[in-house]
């Protein structure tokens, strides 16, 4: 592969775009990464070896896919844009360990896909340069899919990266922070300048590495826990008590149940949701469930 000019080479990237009459589709959040140092950094952050199965989301013209293919045992890339799928069949032609699948990551059954492409119960590494407008839904899809993963390395908008690592009491801290903390630990791996892309996005970017973890308190229905968290943040500036009333009802019987749950959890009704840590929310969820309030 020594004589192959990298797809991410700015001149080759532009040549590919020109050859296929391509332009970044704003509605799909497309920006093509042309900085090889960043691409190599992503592969290094994911600790890809020649024994690894890699699931890539949003390969674009194949700039990152190519680097993954050189390091991994097999790469399966999910691409939603049919025009890009046609381009990838050309740009990735030298690599026989890559398979491109035209599909939407938000609609595909990831467990079935991984079993079919890598083998039953296979563990994967997930790497993605995500469209910024849909970063959060894709992250949640990956985390909630119950797939076996070693790490997830994602390029995202810097603002979203800050939310993943936010501390209680800050404006960035919220539903996304807490939901992610149930499944994984987030680490900011690198910051990425807008000039690293063609075209340059209007926002700063960052690469984040997620490592799986077991939460301090495991619940059998985490989606219900997340529902409690979401309801608690429904009006950020309001107290937890007011948001609970908004979520569960304001009749006397419900108020009594909420009061009992808060007392059982040892949480002040006057506190705001942004002050509570995941373990406290989990305790609150269990107390609300004991009162028959969670759905």
**Residue 206 bridge partners (DSSP):** 156, 191
CB 68 within 8 A of CB 56: yes
**Is the preceding peptide bond at 175 cis, omega within 30 degrees of 0?**
no
Within 10 angstroms of residue 191's Cβ, the number of other Cβ atoms is 12
104 among the known binding-site residues?
A: yes
Calculated CA dihedral for residues 74, 7, 154, 132, nearest 10 degrees: -130
Consecutive H or E run containing 14: helix 10-19
Residue 58 labelled as part of a binding site = yes
Does 240 carry a binding-site annotation? Answer: no
Q: Is 79 annotated as a binding residue?
A: yes
Helix residue spans in 77-186 (DSSP H)? 82-91, 110-118, 135-144, 158-164, 175-183
Which tokens belong to 92?
Answer: 């990735």
List the binding residues.
31, 33, 58, 79, 104, 129
List the binding residues for S-adenosyl-L-methionine.
31, 33, 58, 79, 104, 129
């Amino acid at each position: 592969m020594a004589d192959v000019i990298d797809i991410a080479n700015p001149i080759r990237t532009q040549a590919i775009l020109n050859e296929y009459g391509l332009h970044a589709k704003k509605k799909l959040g497309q920006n093509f990464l042309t900085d090889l140092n960043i691409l190599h950094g992503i592969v290094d952050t994911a600790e890809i070896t020649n024994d690894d199965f890699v699931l890539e989301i949003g390969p674009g013209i194949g700039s990152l896919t190519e680097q993954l293919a050189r390091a991994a045992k097999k790469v399966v890339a999910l691409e939603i844009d049919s025009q890009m799928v046609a381009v990838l069949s050309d740009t990735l032609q030298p690599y026989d360990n890559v398979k491109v699948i035209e599909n939407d990551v938000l609609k595909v059954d990831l467990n079935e896909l991984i079993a079919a492409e890598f083998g039953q119960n296979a563990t994967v590494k997930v790497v993605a340069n995500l469209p910024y407008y849909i970063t959060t839904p894709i992250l949640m899809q990956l985390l909630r899919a119950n797939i076996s993963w070693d790490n997830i390395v994602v390029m995202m908008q810097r603002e979203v990266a800050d939310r993943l690592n936010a501390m209680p009491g800050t404006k960035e801290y919220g539903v996304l922070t807490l939901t992610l903390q149930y499944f994984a630990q987030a680490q900011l791996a690198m910051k990425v300048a807008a000039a690293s892309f063609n075209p340059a996005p209007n926002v700063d970017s960052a690469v984040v590495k997620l490592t799986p973890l077991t939460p301090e308190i495991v619940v059998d229905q985490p989606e219900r826990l997340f529902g409690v968290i979401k309801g608690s943040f429904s009006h950020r500036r309001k107290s937890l008590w007011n948001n609970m009333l908004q979520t569960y009802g304001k009749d006397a019987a419900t108020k009594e149940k909420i009061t009992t749950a808060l007392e059982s959890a040892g949480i002040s009704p006057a506190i705001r949701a942004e002050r509570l840590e995941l373990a406290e929310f989990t305790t609150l969820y269990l107390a609300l469930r004991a009162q028959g309030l969670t759905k």
